[in-house]
Structure 1
Amino acid sequence: MYSRRIVLWVTALLIAFAQPCLAEQVDSGVPGMIFDHDVPVTMTDGVQLRVNIYRPEKSGRYPVLMLMGPYGKDTSMADAPAYKTSWGKLIAKYPDLCRKSSCRYIRFEAPDPERWVADGYIVIHADVRGAGASPGVLDPFSPRETEDYATLITWAARQAWSSGKVGLLGTSFQAINQYQVAALQPEGLAAILPWEGAFDQYREIAYYGGILNVAWEFWWTHQVVPNQNGNAQTPLVDSINGGTDTGAPLAPDVLKQNRVDPVEAFAQHPFDDTYYRQRTPDASQIKVPLLDVANWTDWSTAGYRFAASKGKWLRIQTGDHLTPFYSDEALALQKRFFDHFLKGVDNGWEKEPRVAVQIRRPNGTVWRNAGAWPLPGTRWQRYYLDAANASMAPGLEHLASAQKSYAGLGDELTFTTKPFSKETEFTGPIGVRLWVGSSTADMDIFAALRLIDPQGRDVTFIGNSDPNVPLNLGYLRVSHRAVDRTKSTLYQPFHPHVASEPMTPGRLYPVDVEFTEPTSIVIPRGYRLALTIQGRDFGYGPDANIVHANDYPLPDAHNSGLFFAAHPNRDAKLYGGTNTVATGRDHASYLLLPRIPR
């Protein structure tokens, strides 16, 4: 006998699939495109989310591209305070963008519907529960939110104008939730294209190496909460009808009850527990074709590496995570992928190289295709650290023992190679093994792999969220040093992050620093590599001696990449001790690099 809960769930599901489109049809202003605004779709618990539907005027059944996010399906990127900088960079990069489209419907990190509808696609953009016009509790990446997405996908696949095939497209937030919902295998889902989205909710979002990432507080406060459903004080303007698109006003105390602050939730869950496992997809259940577009700085090759899909492709690029998404080259790539899997077009996609990587140089980049990841022929090379003279080099397994100490919250240790005598390439995952100790019961390790030019300047690169980043960044809270060897590889340790093991002051411990993403660099003759170890955020200040590969200005921030560690859980008494790195003989510390033979 079915339980009452199951009967109610099935009844709500049937209502959701049977309901008509109660659309407010708006003149799109775009020839050949119909715009259905604020269409209600009922979820399994009876809550109605709101979606925008952009579809061809010519009758027929078309494949659907869908995305679901918290930023406002009706919020113009050009006018919203939180997105004006991004919009300015986008238009500066592609000044003719709005000559190919009216740009009226471009939303933050979302595809431009005009450029898809014209090629026979329907685009559906949904406000997540609790955001914009969709009521309910705003709880990013929650199981409830993922279930909503699955309901929307199947609803779209069953509409009269749909071919029954749904693909997912979007960047950042709208890439992360693609992995989540794909693991539920909803009816109608035919392919996904997550563009620079994280996969592991603990290791890539909440905690880096076991250290809480409070950078999300800025995202939450400036980009998400302003668009909360019921927020009468929102600065965001409804670009379709004017005014606001956040529904009926709610009292401040009700608004607070209707949202779950992610950083507060992260702080309450310092270990990789059920909270994160409910939000990290079961990769074995992701079986649809996927194209994972990753970035050398943050987010993420994990979806490609772990998904069970037989048809999966990986591209790793440089640059920020927004402007490349809107380039003509990106649009052509996206359309080739979806034309093949949603329309059945025989365009040779199946012969597309499984891996394509954008190899970085100090003066530019070049694309390279490969059949697997890491790249075939990779030779793993250890650069051994020597604390006696702050150097590192290959082939020094039998160095004399040495130690060097530094203040946990102030100083740093940097180990530098000799100038390279010939051009050398390193492309792939990296690792750092250190022997460390502290005068306290714990320590945080912030590691930065840097490229130094012949004039002694740091060469920086454009990162996912920062225009000046080093080659790579790694993190580890030493009390989280335990490694699961069954899930680890030579180049990628897997820390379970399920318990804290305090250090004994003065004792040395071997630790493997966690790097979530790989790197790529062709090092010219005369350049050097440097590995910096410290106990605080790594970053470049306005007075840093750097040269950017693309002449970007010096930043004001003092942290690099999508990470910031300042938080009350960084107790100075615990993490501000005197830290020590040991090298040589029984305490061999090294940097593991993926050398690509010429």
Structure 2
Amino acid sequence: MRIATEFPRTVTVREHVWIPMRDGTRLAATIWLPDDADQDPVPVLLEYLPYRRGDWTAPRDAQRHPWYAGHGYASVRVDIRGSGDSEGVMLDEYHAQEQQDGVDVIAWLAAQQWSTGKVGMFGISWGGFNALQIAAERPEALKAIVTVCSTDDRYADDVHYYGGALLGVDMAAWSATMLAFQSRPPAPWRVGEAWESMWRERLEALRPYSEIWMSHQERDDYWRHGSVCEDYSRIEAAVLAVGGWADPYRNAVLRLMENLDAPCRGLIGPWSHQYPDIARTPGPTIGFLQETLRWWDHWLKDADNGVMDEPPLHVYQQDSARPATHYPERPGTWVALPGWPSAEVPERAFNLARDVRTLAAGADGLVLVDTPQHTGVDAGRWFPFGNRSDLPPDQRAEDGRSVVFDTPPLVKDLNILGFPRLRLRVAATGPRANIVARLCDVAPDGSSTLITRGALNLARRDGMDRSDGLVPGQWTDVTFDLTAIGWTVPAGHRLRVALSTTYWPWVWPHGDRVAVTVDPAASELVVGDLAPEALDRAHPGFGEPEQAAPLAIVAGPPPTVRPEREVRYEPESERWVLTVDPNYGGNRTFPDGLTYRESALERYSIAEDDPLSATAESQWTIGLERGDWRVTIDTTSVITATATHFRLSNEVRATLGDIVWFERAYVTDIDRRSV
């Protein structure tokens, strides 16, 4: 990592700027601006998030916003309405109000004396989502975006549903995370005496997001809103889409490449849920800021720098690696492709009876899949954050709980790239069932490394917007994609397809235990096989990561010492308990004197023979202290289920000094229609 200390333009930071919305609400912004921008106006770059620019994202903001400003941009970080220091309340993620406000922010930025009137928008995760969503609103000044770890389809790829099944691991944890964010006050030293009334307004408006998300179990109009795949033609701004093979949001890069009419470039590396210049595993990191600067210079400064003359898609084809929960650097090769889909990635099919075989087939050639409820405890984290325990460990235990189909040892390398697709002929013993598929790279010593996976709630077999119960015992053909991947299975290794009916806690089980029979002879796996000559082409690679000087943060006392991830089995009750510390950053003191404390813990438990025993819990404690001002936020979120409904229990307690400022419990029952 290279720290830049000298830039073409000197920079001034405007720490707290109010941006007015059309309804009079004001959003809080920090603006990094070249000193001479009033005389020599510059284009504007916007990052628009709910994650509190004054503390939570401040270390990351310091890495990139001053860097962009030093290279001749006004770089702006805005707190979404009802978050951080902004006025109003935040009603939901990706709410129509958020998008309308984003359009207003862009218009205000374009109209400033120091602005050329051209705006770009960038962000990771939430900021990547709303960059796409606001681009679809077509604000006149927005010319280009960089969207990182995001999606074009909110139902398919976000933290709510997976293959039409309820995503237990993050439906609970992320709604709990947002409850803790929603409950935090603005900073009195920035917003003044209004902070108390602003905080009270937020607390009184609280509604746990899980209540909203779980009320929409099919892909209805709620999920269509904010899903730009509904009409790709609405996006006219140029799009640079970025993802990481270790992150669940990588699918959108290839879909955007295939479907956008607007100028589009794609980049997929080995990374987790991080910007590609941030030194979190897996690496290697790249000079991402430099790459995006070329993008901005072309679209916002009309620079003839050849960025659009280069191959439009760059992917990191990962080499085979032994299973590990983190990789400081993944071995692999950068590959440039002329677009997506690509003629250099022809499809290869494996019939599950002829080419990929199983020992589980009966005399009739059929296979029964009926797996224990705790299958999935070795799935790893839903969105890896770069921690040491995030990635899936050796899959041999999971394979033993599943039905596996293995190829013979491969006689030549198989360069899987794109979306593996599984076609299955199945029959079930009940009307509701899930099917989960994992692809694994099995080495000669038997170690099994997860390549990718996918799931299908069989009630969604004819569309994610509908629910069609199965007729018990009746054969049906289903097709679903696994998550996109770039992975080379070398000669001598075996490719494994592992099937299960359960995958806890990623997939919440249906209320009844249902077995699924598979007809291997009528089933196949189809993968894209990247041509060897594409791997052999010389690729220039990317430069060394460069950032602005880090924020002067003082690390606080370490939080409670505990494993990041722990799996425990209780034989007496046959219950499996997975405990996760998401480890987002811990305790620290910021240059403005704010001391920030954070502790979060997730717990998922299930009995191996009882789908109704599933429980997901998340607890957060946040401490904010500056001088004699001290705030503590405690939240607890629990999801359980019966055969007919889910029960959501959420509690919030906010303390100012030693006084309980707010306390409320929310208990909601939601009908189980199809998950």
What is the TM-score of this pair, normalised by structure 1?
A: 0.73
| Aligned counterparts of 2:435 and 2:470: Cα–Cα separation in 1 | 14
The residue correspondences of 1:300-379 to structure 2 (distance < 5 A) are 300-301=252-253, 302-309=255-262, 311-322=263-274, 324-326=276-278, 327=285, 329-362=287-320, 364-379=331-346
Summarize the Cα distance change of 1:128–1:111 in structure 2 as closer, same or farther, 3 Å threshold.
farther
Report whether the alignment pairs 1:70 with 2:28: no
Contact 2:132-2:152 within 8 A present in 1 as well: yes
RMSD of aligned Cα (Å): 2.8
| Aligned counterparts of 2:258 and 2:194: Cα–Cα separation in 1 | 38
| Aligned counterparts of 1:374 and 1:472: Cα–Cα separation in 2 | 19
Q: What displacement does 1:175 show?
A: 0.5
| Aligned counterparts of 2:67 and 2:137: Cα–Cα separation in 1 | 29
The residue identity in structure 1 corresponding to 2:294 is: R
| Aligned counterparts of 2:370 and 2:354: Cα–Cα separation in 1 | 15
| Aligned counterparts of 1:40 and 1:193: Cα–Cα separation in 2 | 25
Select which of 547, 551, 565 maps to 2:507.
565
Report whether the alignment pairs 1:437 with 2:371: no
Select which of 131, 139, 157 maps to 2:110.
157
Report whether the alignment pairs 1:213 with 2:157: no
Counterpart for residue 405 of structure 2? 415
Counterpart for residue 453 of structure 2? 473
The residue correspondences of 1:546-585 to structure 2 (distance < 5 A) are 564-566=506-508, 570-573=509-512, 576-584=513-521
| Aligned counterparts of 2:440 and 2:216: Cα–Cα separation in 1 | 32
Counterpart for residue 10 of structure 1? none
Select which of 97, 104, 128 maps to 2:80.
128
Q: What displacement does 1:372 show?
A: 1.3
Report whether the alignment pairs 1:385 with 2:352: yes
Q: What displacement does 1:135 show?
A: 2.3
Counterpart for residue 34 of structure 2? 56
- Residues 246-273 of structure 1: CA distance to partner in whole angstroms, max 9, x if unpaired? 9325677x54552453332121111121
Counterpart for residue 171 of structure 1? 124
Summarize the Cα distance change of 1:260–1:177 in structure 2 as closer, same or farther, 3 Å threshold.
farther
Contact 1:269-1:275 within 8 A present in 2 as well: yes
| Aligned counterparts of 2:204 and 2:518: Cα–Cα separation in 1 | 47
Out of 470-479 and 529-538, give the one that drifted further.
Answer: 529-538
Summarize the Cα distance change of 1:256–1:436 in structure 2 as closer, same or farther, 3 Å threshold.
farther
| Aligned counterparts of 1:246 and 1:526: Cα–Cα separation in 2 | 67
Q: What displacement does 1:203 show?
A: 1.0
The residue identity in structure 1 corresponding to 2:507 is: A
Contact 1:447-1:474 within 8 A present in 2 as well: yes
Percent sequence identity is 25
Contact 2:419-2:481 within 8 A present in 1 as well: no
How many residue pairs were aligned?
470
| Aligned counterparts of 2:193 and 2:55: Cα–Cα separation in 1 | 8
Contact 2:179-2:209 within 8 A present in 1 as well: no
Q: What displacement does 1:377 show?
A: 2.8
- Residues 47-106 of structure 1: CA distance to partner in whole angstroms, max 9, x if unpaired? 1111111101123201111011111111155xxxxxxxxxxxxxxxxxxxxxxxxxxx53
Report whether the alignment pairs 1:39 with 2:39: no
Contact 1:33-1:114 within 8 A present in 2 as well: yes
| Aligned counterparts of 1:323 and 1:150: Cα–Cα separation in 2 | 24
| Aligned counterparts of 1:156 and 1:389: Cα–Cα separation in 2 | 57
Report whether the alignment pairs 1:592 with 2:509: no
The residue identity in structure 2 corresponding to 1:64 is: V
Contact 1:231-1:249 within 8 A present in 2 as well: no
| Aligned counterparts of 1:376 and 1:204: Cα–Cα separation in 2 | 26
- Residues 137-191 of structure 1: CA distance to partner in whole angstroms, max 9, x if unpaired? 2121011111111110111011100011111112111101111000111021010
Contact 1:375-1:428 within 8 A present in 2 as well: no
Summarize the Cα distance change of 1:318–1:328 in structure 2 as closer, same or farther, 3 Å threshold.
closer
Report whether the alignment pairs 1:509 with 2:468: no
Contact 1:133-1:245 within 8 A present in 2 as well: no
Q: What displacement does 1:221 show?
A: 2.4
The residue identity in structure 2 corresponding to 1:372 is: G
| Aligned counterparts of 1:149 and 1:285: Cα–Cα separation in 2 | 16
| Aligned counterparts of 1:414 and 1:244: Cα–Cα separation in 2 | 62
Contact 2:439-2:498 within 8 A present in 1 as well: yes
Contact 1:75-1:107 within 8 A present in 2 as well: no
Summarize the Cα distance change of 1:142–1:527 in structure 2 as closer, same or farther, 3 Å threshold.
same
| Aligned counterparts of 2:516 and 2:266: Cα–Cα separation in 1 | 39
| Aligned counterparts of 1:47 and 1:350: Cα–Cα separation in 2 | 39
- Residues 186-222 of structure 1: CA distance to partner in whole angstroms, max 9, x if unpaired? 0210100101211101111232211122404323323
Secondary structure of 1:374 counterpart: coil
Counterpart for residue 448 of structure 1? 438
Counterpart for residue 402 of structure 1? 365
Contact 1:408-1:443 within 8 A present in 2 as well: no
Report whether the alignment pairs 1:194 with 2:147: yes
Summarize the Cα distance change of 1:331–1:367 in structure 2 as closer, same or farther, 3 Å threshold.
same
Secondary structure of 1:422 counterpart: coil
Report whether the alignment pairs 1:225 with 2:179: yes
Summarize the Cα distance change of 1:244–1:439 in structure 2 as closer, same or farther, 3 Å threshold.
farther
Larger % of strand: which? 2
Secondary structure of 1:226 counterpart: helix
Contact 2:460-2:466 within 8 A present in 1 as well: yes
| Aligned counterparts of 1:503 and 1:251: Cα–Cα separation in 2 | 49
| Aligned counterparts of 2:85 and 2:266: Cα–Cα separation in 1 | 35
Contact 1:408-1:579 within 8 A present in 2 as well: no
Counterpart for residue 14 of structure 1? none
- Residues 383-437 of structure 1: CA distance to partner in whole angstroms, max 9, x if unpaired? 1113999449xxxxxx996211132544421111111122231212210001112
Secondary structure of 1:315 counterpart: strand
Counterpart for residue 83 of structure 1? none
Structure 1 unaligned runs (5+)? 1-29, 78-104, 393-398, 460-469, 483-495, 539-558
Counterpart for residue 393 of structure 2? none
| Aligned counterparts of 1:260 and 1:386: Cα–Cα separation in 2 | 50
Structure 2 unaligned runs (5+)? 1-7, 279-284, 322-330, 374-400, 533-675
Summarize the Cα distance change of 1:473–1:208 in structure 2 as closer, same or farther, 3 Å threshold.
same
- Residues 21-70 of structure 1: CA distance to partner in whole angstroms, max 9, x if unpaired? xxxxxxxxx99322222211221222111111110112320111101111
Summarize the Cα distance change of 1:63–1:571 in structure 2 as closer, same or farther, 3 Å threshold.
same
Counterpart for residue 287 of structure 1? 236
Summarize the Cα distance change of 1:582–1:256 in structure 2 as closer, same or farther, 3 Å threshold.
farther
Secondary structure of 2:492 counterpart: coil
Q: What displacement does 1:241 show?
A: 5.5
Summarize the Cα distance change of 1:260–1:186 in structure 2 as closer, same or farther, 3 Å threshold.
farther
- Residues 521-541 of structure 1: CA distance to partner in whole angstroms, max 9, x if unpaired? 222121111111112227xxx
- Residues 275-306 of structure 1: CA distance to partner in whole angstroms, max 9, x if unpaired? 11222123111011111112234222233333
| Aligned counterparts of 2:355 and 2:409: Cα–Cα separation in 1 | 19
Contact 2:432-2:510 within 8 A present in 1 as well: no
| Aligned counterparts of 1:579 and 1:400: Cα–Cα separation in 2 | 17
